[in-house]
Structure 1
Amino acid sequence: MSLLAWLGRLFAAPAPALPAAPAPLPPAVPVAAVGDPPSVVVTETMVRQGFPRCADPAAWAKALTAAFARFPAFTPLGAATIIAKAQVETGGLTRWDENLNYSKPEQLLRMHGSRAVRTESAKAALRARPAGGPWPDIALAEAREICGKPMACGDRVYAALGGYEARGGGIVQLTGLDNQQAFARYLGLTLAQARDHMRTIEGAALTGPWYVQHFGGQDAANRGDMREILRIVAGKRTQADLAAIWSSIHGDDQMAAFHRWRGLLEA
């Protein structure tokens, strides 16, 4: 083959195809979309006044403002109902990972009822307990087995929801596999990434408006119906069901926090 023929064949051949670029991975920490202007603005001064035990009010102010910017339909009154829920859920923004470290079996039974026991006899004894009556000995004995053992407690009380790994996190604690998978889908993250994210300040702040909107509570929040928000977050069917656990969820404290935050955000 002549040199000219060889060169002609070389340049006529198609270039080899390049390998396709890999699909981008979802971000480990989503970037908050900030509205212009934000419908709800939380300041460092507000956090200091509303949650005096909070260790990083500046970070929380920024995170809460960014969280509500993702959901601009919430009004300041609606934000007050959601932020007030954090009073008990996070101990005033001092913790946002459910540790399930109960020290008294009575408290565990009050919070989790028949989920804290495993035998049918203990469950039957709890069902037969008169309202306000003493806790059955058999139920107390079973609850005592997991007191002071957060992982054992989580695996039992959330057995139907995914066990200890599905424990709550955030300012409105996202408990259970379904809730956490829905949160992950919203963020475009894996389940593991979403679980890690809701235990950061930015992710914990986002759980509040996301959860309330996800479960259809936006209108109730915006009209200041704190009791309805408490019912939704507690997973109760009726206000009567909520009333039965009012003291165990520190309902009066949460109502007081709502009025405090309403004053701060509507000033």
Structure 2
Amino acid sequence: MSIASQQLLQILPNAGQVAGVFVPVLNTAMSRYQIAGTKRIAAFVAQVGHESGHLVRLVENLNYSADALRKTWPSRFNAELATTVARKPEQIANIAYGNRMGNTAPGDGWKYRGRGLIQITGKDNYRACDEALGLDLTAQPELLEKPQHACMSAAWFWATNGLNTLADAGKFDAITQRINGGQTGAADRQALYARALKVLA
């Protein structure tokens, strides 16, 4: 089972012109990582659709206000720091992701910010993805901004984290938890999932 352009557009209407670009590479990635059948494909498309703003954003948007910084990373941004760096994406990335996830050098937080359809983040994750896909992502992290690598990295992450099993069991909230580390955007993810299940049925 694969997904057709019109189905993808029914699920992710804001994808517009990029839907045609993504259909073949999504199908290739899903096939490689056994994301097959209605339940798995619906869950995968809903999650990557949410994470990428309907396949439009392949790089994490870190243009946060001071309030949003404190809500998103309360342990990393106190009121003063949040006010100082608000709306400065590069500084935000280096503080939010610095000295964790394998980011050890100055500037690694920005260099290895979220990319791809599931927003691979942190040098350790880039390295693991790199090894699985045979790309040189540690040297060229922007490769994950290309549709074929954006899709393949998402399918790799999905399979590596056991998300096919959760999709088979209908445990959509548990999938969100593994991808997001919380339930951010849960309502939108659920709505996309419900639509995907209908379209693919």
Aligned residue number for residue 98 of structure 1: 60
Aligned residue number for residue 109 of structure 1: 70
Aligned residue number for residue 50 of structure 2: 88
Of residues 208, 214, 224, the one that matches 2:154 is 208
Q: 2-side partners of 1:204 and 1:67: how far apart? A: 9
Structure 2 counterpart of 1:205, which letter? C
Of residues 20, 25, 39, the one that matches 1:58 is 20
Aligned residue number for residue 106 of structure 2: none
Aligned residue number for residue 85 of structure 2: 146
Larger-gyration structure (1/2): 1
| Cα drift, residue 85 of structure 1 | 1.1
Q: 2-side partners of 1:194 and 1:114: how far apart? A: 30
Q: 2-side partners of 1:72 and 1:106: how far apart? A: 40
Matched, 1:48 2:5: no
| Cα drift, residue 186 of structure 1 | 0.6
Structure 2 counterpart of 1:260, which letter? R
Aligned residue number for residue 259 of structure 1: 194
Alpha-carbon contact 2:144-2:150 (below 8 Å) kept: yes
1:218-265 CA distances to partner (integer Å, 9 max, x unpaired)?
Answer: 200222211110111123xxxxxx3xxx3xx11111011111111222
1:114-146 CA distances to partner (integer Å, 9 max, x unpaired)?
Answer: 12x2xxxxxxxxxxxxxxxxxxxxx22211222
Alpha-carbon contact 1:168-1:175 (below 8 Å) kept: yes
| Cα drift, residue 211 of structure 1 | 0.7
Q: 2-side partners of 1:214 and 1:142: how far apart? A: 36
Distance 1:153 1:73, change over 3 A: closer
What number of residue pairs does the alignment pair up? Answer: 193
Matched, 1:75 2:37: yes
The two structures have a TM-score, normalised by structure 2, of: 0.88
1:189-212 CA distances to partner (integer Å, 9 max, x unpaired)?
Answer: 222466232111111112222112
Q: 2-side partners of 1:197 and 1:42: how far apart? A: 24
Provide the alpha-carbon RMSD of the alignment.
Answer: 1.7
Q: 1-side partners of 2:50 and 2:18: how far apart? A: 18
Percent of pairs with identical residues? 25
Q: Which runs of 5+ in 2 are unaligned?
A: 104-108
Alpha-carbon contact 1:67-1:205 (below 8 Å) kept: yes
The two structures have a TM-score, normalised by structure 1, of: 0.68
| Cα drift, residue 73 of structure 1 | 5.5
Structure 1 counterpart of 2:5, which letter? E
- 1:152 is paired with a residue whose SS is helix
| Cα drift, residue 216 of structure 1 | 2.2
| Cα drift, residue 99 of structure 1 | 2.6
Structure having the higher helix fraction is: 2
Distance 1:263 1:113, change over 3 A: same
Structure 1 counterpart of 2:192, which letter? A
